[in-house]
Structure 1
Amino acid sequence: MATTLPVKIEFSLPEGWQPAPPDEVGAPGVAFIALHSESQDKFTANITIAGKVRDEADLLTLAQESVHRLREGATVSVATQAQGGTPEVPALTQTLRISTTLRGLPVELVQSQVYLLMNDAHDPSKHAVIELALTAKQSQLDQVADDFEEFVRSIRPAGPDAA
């Protein structure tokens, strides 16, 4: 079942990406998914947004939890990991190599994850971890990696006038 984010955010979707209902495209547990229709090489590259309020705001621990969760159904290795962001919005990025099956066939995927620690613009005492991910086949990365970086740079807390 699709979820909602614990804080309101705004973002811009790069050209060529189309939002889709998470439950209808097999992405339960995310608040938003966009598909890159031109990248359908037996797998459609996608961008997802999920998030939750956490008592523990250690981004490294959250990234490790994601790896453990993915390992329940796939072979996963961490290719890169780095902390960054700004003092207002700390971030952690990691790139994962994922070996799994799709419709009974083996598939090799790359997942770029970005974890952002954000405060709610309406209630500064409330913070949440926003999880952004790009999942694609290695052969699709050149086509979609720059789009994901553009998308991540566009993420910001929603202004006070946001509904």
Structure 2
Amino acid sequence: MAHILDVNGDAIAHLGDADLRTVVARLALAELAAQGMPLSFVTAGGDQDAADGGLDVRVECPVNFPAPDFVPRQTTGFQVKKPDISASAIEDEMRPKGALRPSIAALAEASGAYIIISAQGSVADKPLRKRRSAIRHALRDDANAGQLLTDFYDRTRLATWVNR
């Protein structure tokens, strides 16, 4: 049963770029706090439109989490997008000018996680699989790709995280 204060995907879709990034940063902070980790391990900042190297929110924790969830690894990078990002657009996001972003390669080298979040996207199982596959394909020539956990969070999964 939904609670009157539960956030749904439509509420997430109405967030602006800066607010969306702030929500993801606060969610990461809350998840670390719930696991007794210092909040200083979460970084997010700068202008939303500034060159960020492909990551909007980063978690860098020196130890594994006792119970990882939406922040799945001790080193996790989130690319936060207001518009829906299709499977075909993921390649350009991860590999501008054909080369894998160094920030993503560094996450792979650290056995971290890379997660794309879309506030407008609301994907069923098949489109979700296509987006996840596109993320993996963009890693095709990275020596450490097998060490990188990847995922795609649409507005519904983000709302689930908020409500947690």
Alignment TM class, shorter chain as reference: 0.3 to 0.5
Q: Taking structure 2 as the reference length, what is the TM-score of the superposition?
A: 0.37
Q: Taking structure 1 as the reference length, what is the TM-score of the superposition?
A: 0.37
Q: Greater helix percent: which structure?
A: 2
